Homo-oligomer: A and B are copies of this chain.
């Protein structure tokens, strides 16, 4: 059920609606919009009576939500959500006219590598820096990331380059640690239905980048996001990164049709990761162009100063100069859709 407030409803009206909802043992989710506020209700077993709310002061109408996902649905919030990342001069808004470009190495390997990558991606126009501190790896014997050391390097990167930091959290406990350093908490594809982690991220104050699972349907993807919103964190950025199919010419099959499909039913921004989506360096730029052309709100791209020496995912990481070309091409495509990329930040001397 969604309670839509009148445009002239007061803070006090909204507070009273929330109190009423909580008095019923349910959960209230006030969602301020451009014109008026709506209050989502979750936690009910069966349908609720609209009349119980429509008589309250400031309430325009109470409408049932028909989809299994509630808070992520456009039924609850028709305008696109804008997610604010970072703060101060370097704050970025994801989901608006400007594309969000997240770039950097698969894993943080050492300070020099991280700084070289950060300099390269900043120069080309990225405003967010990716780099794994904790790496989910198929093999227990593969490099698992530098952990705390990497988090500290990431903090330095933010300080030095003014880039916002996106890095992965792997379990609820580890979330406490990552949250201290990251501007955006990344939840990987293999953890898309790690419900304990989703709930924990839902209690974070940081925005969450949620990657689609390898065999997740659209509904499962949105329900995973719903877990995060239902705990009170409405700042979720979705990310398509390829699904698993029989096709063997790419590592995964990038499903770009999910972008307009998400946009149709949900208000959250969605970006594309063409690096994991293809697994092959030479396909990253063409698919990045396609992602922007289809309407994605941004990109997440692996860039490494020396891909041939990377400890992980080297074959899908771009060389810095390839990333520069990608940015040029993507910016031109974005213009056709009335969108822009950020102006590159000034590089400090």
A residues at B contact (CB < 8 Å) = 42-43, 68-70, 136-141, 170-174, 190-191, 193-197, 199, 214-215, 217-220, 223, 226-227, 230-231, 243-250, 253-261, 264, 277-278, 282-283, 286-287, 289-295, 329, 332-333, 336-337
Q: How far is the CB of A298 from chain B (nearest CB, A)?
A: 15
Q: How far is the CB of A80 from chain B (nearest CB, A)?
A: 16
Query: Top 4 nearest A-B pairs by Cβ distance?
Result: A171-B196, A293-B293, A215-B215, A190-B193
Q: In the complex, A277→B218 CA distance in Å?
A: 17
Q: In the complex, A42→B220 CA distance in Å?
A: 37
Contacts of A43 in B (CB 8 A): 141
B257 touching A226 by the CB < 8 A rule?
no
A195 touching B293 by the CB < 8 A rule?
no
Could you say which of B194, B277, B282, B291 contacts A290, with CB atoms under 8 Å apart?
B291
A256 touching B287 by the CB < 8 A rule?
yes
A247 touching B220 by the CB < 8 A rule?
no
Contacts of A250 in B (CB 8 A): 257, 261
B245 touching A264 by the CB < 8 A rule?
no
Q: In the complex, A278→B294 CA distance in Å?
A: 13
B254 touching A282 by the CB < 8 A rule?
no
> Assuming A223-B139, A256-B256, A283-B257, is B249 touching A246 (CB within 8 A)?
no
